[in-house]
Amino acid sequence: MDPKEAERLAKAAEKAQAAADTAKAKADRMEASSSAMYGRFAGGQPLLRGHHSYRSARRTKNRADAASERALDAYKDAQRAGAHARHAKAKAEAVAAITAVEATRARPWEPSDFQAGDIVTVRTFHTSTDTYRVKRVNKKTLTLDGGGGGWDDPKREYDRILSRTRDGITITNPGQEQS
């Protein structure tokens, strides 16, 4: 994985967090503003039909209700932005960890580094990893035991392997393997 990708994702996570903080501050301001609009009704005086102040009070209440709904929508937007920021941060951290493991290798993994029965940790997608038992070592890929009796056995290229465990010893750098 490219180290620049990890850096780009970290910047995107910071930007998403800044957007979430801005959205939360906006929602707080809108909530304070809408609460202030209800100040006219703080004493509990009901709207009196037929009274000269009824139309003005009704308009003020409608505006305050609309402002409250906009503030609630802004809070929902802020929650979504916060969730997006948390997801972006988790993704950036996962990519950075995977990139760090891949950057420390002295050489790439090769078919001679594996044998059937080894346990391997594999980069599945951009940010996630899975652990499998090696079923077969091929020229370009490893056939992994998917647990479904053969019909769902995934194949992974050697550049997606993060670590290999054999006899309780885990190796992340194939160039420093102990013979």
Identify the band that residue 62 occupies on the pLDDT scale cut at 50, 70 and 90. very high
* Domain-wise residue ranges, the chain: 3-103, 111-176
Kind plus residue range of the DSSP H or E element containing 68? helix 54-103
Query: What pLDDT was estimated at residue 1?
Result: 66
Per-residue pLDDT tens digits for 105-121: 888 999 999 999 999 99
Please state, in angstroms and rounded to a whole number, the distance separating the CA atoms of residues 146 and 152. 5
The alpha carbon of residue 133 and the mean position of all alpha carbons in its chain are separated, in whole angstroms, by 28
Residue 179 in this model has a pLDDT that exceeds 60: no
Sheet holding 129-137, edge to edge: 155-157, 141-144, 129-137, 119-123, 161-166, 169-171
Note if the pTM is more than 0.85: no
CATH class as words, domain 111-176: mainly beta
Mean pLDDT of 131-143: 92
Instruction: Give me the percent of the chain exceeding a pLDDT of 90.
Output: 53
Query: What pLDDT was estimated at residue 153?
Result: 81
Alpha-carbon Rg for the chain, nearest whole angstrom, is 29
